[in-house]
């Protein structure tokens, strides 16, 4: 991307990421055209650049086009600096594309297995048992937020054999809390329905 025949005689290289088009384009932020603070460029060699970044907003979902501008020299505001404030000629890379996919499309609910129910049973001599459990996380929210706040509210169904399970003896009520942990209340009833020997 740059002429390395003279090595670092011009004081090294300066690399800039420039946003060309996409959902976050903002001409008010010219010449880079977007807030690119989530990204870092690391020079691996005179011709190799590593680009890394961590995004914490869904505004970046979609397809983005960038270029990298490489300039001989390093910025120097000293009035005696060589070139244009320490910088010399520059070249631009070809455009490249980055597509950010919504992590909620592949998030795993209860991937950390915090919510596990092995058995619910009514103890002998009782007619009702209840369990109050904290609702599960989802993996995208666990990675980028508090475990509950990135992919919207959860809905709850009790399934048996892949079908919704309903019974007059069993109930499940979920209290859904926006962007925070939910609460699940499970209740199982058991009542005698037989007859005596004298009926």
Q: For 85-129, write each residue's pLDDT tens digit.
A: 667 778 889 999 999 999 999 999 999 888 888 788 898 889 999
pTM greater than 0.75: no
Q: What distances in angstroms separate CA 190 from CA 117, 125, 129, 186, one per listed residue?
A: 19, 10, 9, 14
Largest CA distance in the chain: 112
User: 31-35, 109-113, 126-130, 157-161: which range is least confident on average?
Assistant: 157-161
Q: Which helix (H) or strand (E) holds 68?
A: strand 62-73
**pLDDT-derived band at 2, boundaries 50, 70, 90:** very low
Domain boundaries, the chain: 13-101, 103-199
Closest by CA position to 172, among listed 157, 159, 182: 157
């Amino acid at each position: 991307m740059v002429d390395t025949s003279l090595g670092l005689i011009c004081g090294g290289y300066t690399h800039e990421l420039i946003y060309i088009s996409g959902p976050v384009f903002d001409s008010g932020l010219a010449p880079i055209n977007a807030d690119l603070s989530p990204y870092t460029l690391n020079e691996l060699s005179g011709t190799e650049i590593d680009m890394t970044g961590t995004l914490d907003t869904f505004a970046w979902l979609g397809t983005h086009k960038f270029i990298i501008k490489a300039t001989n020299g390093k910025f120097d505001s000293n009035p005696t600096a060589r070139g244009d404030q320490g910088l010399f000629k520059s070249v631009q890379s070809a455009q490249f594309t980055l597509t950010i996919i919504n992590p909620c499309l592949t998030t795993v609910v209860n991937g950390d297995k915090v919510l596990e129910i092995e058995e619910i049973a009514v103890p002998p001599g009782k007619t009702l048992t209840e369990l109050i459990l904290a609702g599960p996380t989802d993996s995208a929210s666990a990675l980028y937020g508090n475990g509950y706040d990135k992919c919207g509210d959860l809905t709850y169904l009790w399934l048996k054999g892949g079908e919704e399970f309903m019974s007059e003896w069993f109930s499940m009520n979920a209290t859904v809390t926006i962007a925070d942990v939910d609460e699940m209340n499970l209740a199982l009833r058991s009542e005698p329905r037989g007859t005596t020997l004298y009926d």
